[in-house]
Amino acid sequence: RQLEDYGYWYCPDGRDAHQQRAFERVEARPQAIEWAFHIAAGSRFRASADNLSGVPADLDAFRRRIFGRLCSYRREGFPPRAQVFIDALCTFYDRRWQLPDAA
């Protein structure tokens, strides 16, 4: 492989309850970054539990987990590459990045 591996864990669709919880724990970080991109671009974010043929996910709880991670990134700082992209989106769309009120 010639592509950079960012180390994301992934378990395919059809996860059982245990696998889904593990997926949500890991997936909250990249989806929090994605949510930040949406904020910067002024578009609506939709959380994705990505388990269409497996155990139904509690999307409200998952969204709260993602929002918590988003708040942590806001306090502690985003990964450098993500911050560069957030800044570029804010500049392009002439927006100020602002955390939403709640999940």
- Whether residue 74 is contained in a domain is answered as yes
- Whether residue 7 is contained in a domain is answered as no
pTM of the model: 0.81
Domain that residue 38 falls in: 17-93
Measured in residues, the chain has a length of 103
Task: Tell me phi and psi for residue 92, to 5 degrees.
Answer: -60, -45
- Whether residue 62 is contained in a domain is answered as yes
Tally the domains of the chain.
1
Q: Round to whole Å and give the CA distance between 24 and 100.
A: 21
Angle (deg, nearest 10), helices 59-76 and 17-41: 50
pLDDT grade for 73, boundaries at 50, 70 and 90 = very high
Contact 97, 39 (CB under 8 A): yes
Condensed to tens digits (0 to 9), the pLDDT of residues 11-67 reads 677 778 888 788 888 889 999 999 999 999 999 999 987 766 666 668 888 899 999
Condensed to tens digits (0 to 9), the pLDDT of residues 79-91 reads 999 999 999 999 9
- Whether residue 103 is contained in a domain is answered as no
- Whether residue 12 is contained in a domain is answered as no
Contacts of 40 (CB under 8 A, 6+ apart): 85, 86, 87, 89, 90, 93, 95, 97
- Whether residue 57 is contained in a domain is answered as yes
Say whether pLDDT at 100 is over 60: yes
Amino acid type, 102? A
